[in-house]
Amino acid sequence: MATARSFWKGHLRLALVTIPIRLVSATASEDKIALHQVDRKSKQRIRYQKVAGETGKVVPQSDIVQGYELDDGSYVLFEPDELDKLKLSTRHTIELTEFVDACSIDPLYFDNPYYVLPDGDVAEEGYRIIRDALKSSKKYGVGQLTMRGRENLIAMKPSGEGLMVETLRYANEVRDADEVFADIGRGKLRPELIEMAKQLIDERTQKFDPGDFKNHYAEALRKLVKDKVEGGESTEIGGGDERPAGGTVIDFMDALRRSTGKTPAKSGRSPAKTAASHQKREPAKRSKARPKTKSRARG
């Protein structure tokens, strides 16, 4: 099996324990069929241009700025360099700052899943210890990860023989269910009807297997493509880096003991380990809460 392509490399930190890791996507898009818009007459790909709303004139990229719409319909404009200053530098460290019960996170908060792999043989022991500790404690590790200039809230959990990170939505990104369902009636229901519904549920209850479900539209579209190709209907259409992890990793067992306070750090360690254990560690900065508003940014 080919090695999964990683899109992020860095370190997993738990107190004084630091392990080099890499992230790979847990989802695949190879099976998706992409369709493009084509001019039926000229057989040219349809292209979109950025034009000014009033004049219809094409606007060069160098003249385009970002705007935030206010409640009164006016906009606050931002130059690219103003927004660049707000972007967080990519910190190549996931620091697990707290642990929560596995069942305590509402599934609504989960966003995108990524597999976590040890980056190199030296990382495997520590990786496996953290994995097994999370399994036995039935806990998720919670921390933050900076990707593409955005600080993501994440939960780390065991996944089979490995670990998985799932990005989480922040509290202000989730709508209040009580407000959404406020107009649903609360009158008493007939118990016998509820029992009948429960009986139907019981009769159809089984272990979930995602392989039992097929994307019928995708299968039909794939067959249509195949039939057209075999029928000679294909047409020529016109127009149409990973940063390596850095830093020295400290001795895992020594760091684990010192993190738990079991034993003091031993003297006489090798220079490499001593230097690594005294590397400056900056605590993760908490992002300030943003004011709530009904307005939205438009690009």
First to last CA, the chain: 41
Higher pLDDT, 113 or 264: 113
In this prediction, residue 6 carries a pLDDT of 84
Given a cut of 80, whether residue 2 has pLDDT beyond it is no
The pTM for the full model equals: 0.65
Given a cut of 50, whether residue 245 has pLDDT beyond it is no
In this prediction, residue 259 carries a pLDDT of 67
* Cβ contact 117:22 at 8 Å: yes
Given a cut of 80, whether residue 297 has pLDDT beyond it is no
Query: What is the radius of gyration, based on Cα positions, of the chain?
Result: 26
Distance CA 50, CA 40 (A): 23
User: Among 14-28, 102-116, 148-162, 239-253, which stretch is predicted with the lowest mean pLDDT?
Assistant: 239-253
User: Domain residues of the chain, as ranges?
Assistant: 8-28+64-173+246-298, 189-230
For the stretch 132-143, pLDDT in tens is: 999 999 999 999
Dihedral in degrees, nearest 10, Cα atoms 109, 243, 131, 173: -10
Q: What percent of the chain has pLDDT over 90?
A: 49
CATH 3.40.220.10 fits 8-28+64-173+246-298, yes or no: no
* Cβ contact 144:154 at 8 Å: yes
User: Among 106-115, 216-225, 276-285, which stretch is predicted with the lowest mean pLDDT?
Assistant: 276-285
In this prediction, residues 231-254 reach a mean pLDDT of 61
For the stretch 214-239, pLDDT in tens is: 888 888 888 888 888 888 888 787 76
In this prediction, residue 215 carries a pLDDT of 82
